[in-house]
Structure 1
Amino acid sequence: MTGQGLEPQQLGAYFAFAEAASLLQHHVEQHLRAEGGLSYVQFQLLARLAEARSLTMTQLADGVVYSRSGLTYQAGLLEQAGLITRGPSVDDERATLVTITEEGLALVRRILPGHVQVVRRLLVDPLSNDDVRHLGDIMSRVRDHMRAQPPRSAAPRRRRAPRSV
């Protein structure tokens, strides 16, 4: 069975990649929930903010490839937990600026070593140094190709059809 226009080797590579990514994400998510009470998306948001300290909601949505409504919900949960703050941007009054709090930074610092251990054990350890370099090169090219497309935040919002009574 081949997909439309994919050779068996290409289809096999796709399925192997998809399965490995799902397995890695599952184990990472288990660790994040157990050690920090965070979802994978929440950790991604906090990790990006730990690096940048502050980003707009649009920058966060584009960075973690998440929907606007989903990001707003996740940011609300993180704000309620005291891990981030949200407020108006001084550079753009239409933008909401998200800033990580000291509590958020402390949480990222606390769970990051275990996160790294999970990634090392599942992804890095079975590979040689050359494999890791090649994988990094390949995935960087794929990511850059995908990122060359317009960001999700640039897509127009779909209008809901009026409800009939």
Structure 2
Amino acid sequence: MADALEPEQLNTYFALMESVSLLHHAVEQQVREAGDLSYVQFQLLARLADAPERQLTMTELADGVVYSRSGLTHQAGLLEKAGLITRCPSPDDQRATLVAITQAGLARLAEILPGHIQVARSLLFAPLSDQDLHALGDIMARVRDHMRARPPRSAATRKRRA
């Protein structure tokens, strides 16, 4: 069958997907226990903390964490209610909403990060040599860049409900 993956491709695909699932589960559990946040909420705070002026538009956040606009709006509402972010209209674009991390958000992130780093080190990096780490980083950057070359989800037109 021409459409089937080669055995090596299939094995690689399943090893990657299983590894991602195992790592994601462990990270999700750690973030929940250390900071009472969902993984998506943690991602949002981490992206904002790393952003210039510690703020991004909702669209930039949605594209960065690969999350639906409606789901992001809900998660941002929960973070805002908890005092971890603020949202306000953009002075540069009336259609955009700016999201900024608060001092409380930075503090929550600081509570979570040590355990988060430990999970990443123990599950992802521990079995890798320096050479493996470099090779994996190069490979995953190429794959990510290839996937990101497609228009972002926020650029896709919304389907109308029947």
For the residues of structure 2 that align with 1:114 and 1:34, how far apart are their CA atoms? 10
SS of equivalent to 1:115: helix
Cα offset, 1:59, TM superposition: 0.1
Partner of 2:138: 137
Deviations 1:32-91 (A, max 9, x none): 000000111110000000111100000000000000000000000000110000000011
| 2:47 counterpart of 1:74 | no
Deviations 1:77-131 (A, max 9, x none): 0001100000000111110000000000011112111100000000001110100
For the residues of structure 2 that align with 1:116 and 1:92, how far apart are their CA atoms? 36
For the residues of structure 2 that align with 1:29 and 1:124, how far apart are their CA atoms? 18
* 1:3–1:125 Cα change, 3 Å: farther
| Normalised TM-score (structure 2) | 0.97
For the residues of structure 2 that align with 1:129 and 1:99, how far apart are their CA atoms? 36
For the residues of structure 1 that align with 2:2 and 2:43, how far apart are their CA atoms? 32
> Residues 9-158 of structure 1: matches in 2 within 5 Å?
9-52=8-51, 53-158=54-159
SS of equivalent to 2:98: strand
List alignment gaps of at least 5 residues for structure 1. none
Aligned AA (2:79) = L
Cα offset, 1:4, TM superposition: 3.0
For the residues of structure 1 that align with 2:156 and 2:33, how far apart are their CA atoms? 35
Aligned AA (2:58) = M
Aligned AA (2:123) = L
Cα offset, 1:5, TM superposition: 3.0
For the residues of structure 1 that align with 2:66 and 2:75, how far apart are their CA atoms? 13
For the residues of structure 2 that align with 1:4 and 1:43, how far apart are their CA atoms? 38
Give the length in aligned residue pairs: 160
* 1:130–1:34 Cα change, 3 Å: same
List alignment gaps of at least 5 residues for structure 2. none
Partner of 1:8: 7
Aligned AA (1:112) = L
Identity over aligned pairs, percent: 71
SS of equivalent to 2:27: helix
For the residues of structure 2 that align with 1:22 and 1:51, how far apart are their CA atoms? 25
Output the aligned Cα RMSD.
1.1
